[in-house]
Amino acid sequence: MDYRDEVFLAVAENLSFSKAAEDLCISQPAVTKHVKELENRWNVALFERIGNKISLTDAGKMAVERLKDIRWRYRELEFGLGRLNGDFFGQLRLGASSTISQYVIPEALAAFHKRYPQVDLTLLQGNSSEMEEKLLAGEIDIALVENETSEPGLRYEDFLDDEIVTVTGVKSAYADIRELKLEDFSRIPLVLREKGSGTLQVLKKALQKKGVKLSKLNILLHLGSTEAIKNFLADFDGVALVSAKAIEKELLLEQLVRIRLPELSLTRKFRSAYRMGPLPDVPRIFTRFLEGHNL
Residue pLDDT, tens place only, 42-100: 999 999 988 888 999 999 999 998 988 887 777 667 667 766 666 677 789 999 998 99
Q: How does strand 154-169 pair with strand 267-275? A: antiparallel
Could you tell me the pLDDT band of residue 288, with boundaries at 50, 70 and 90? confident
Q: What is the pTM of this model?
A: 0.68
Q: What per-residue confidence (pLDDT) applies to 221?
A: 94
How many residues does this entry show for the chain?
A: 295
More confident residue, 253 or 87: 253
Which amino acid is it at 53? K
Amino acid 189: pLDDT = 95
Nearest to 237 by CA among 156, 162, 160, 171: 171
- pLDDT one-digit tens code per residue, 229-250: 999 999 999 999 999 999 999 9
Greater confidence (196 vs 187) lies with 187
Work out the average pLDDT over 255-272: 93
- Domain annotation for the chain: domains and CATH numbers: 1-86 (1.10.10.10), 162-265 (3.40.190.10)
- For residue 45, give Cα distances in angstroms to 35, 41, 128: 10, 10, 35
Please report, for residues 63, 208, 262, 266, the alpha-carbon distance to residue 223 in angstroms, rounded to integers and kept in the order given: 39, 22, 25, 19
Going by C-alpha positions, the residue among 273, 275, 276 that lies closest to residue 287 is 273
The phi, psi pair for 149, rounded to 5°, reads -80, 160
Averaged pLDDT for residues 115-139: 91
Phi, psi values for residue 225, rounded to 5°: -155, 155
Provide mean pLDDT across the span 212-227.
92
Q: Which stretch of DSSP H or E encloses residue 272? A: strand 267-275
* Confidence (pLDDT) at 93: 94
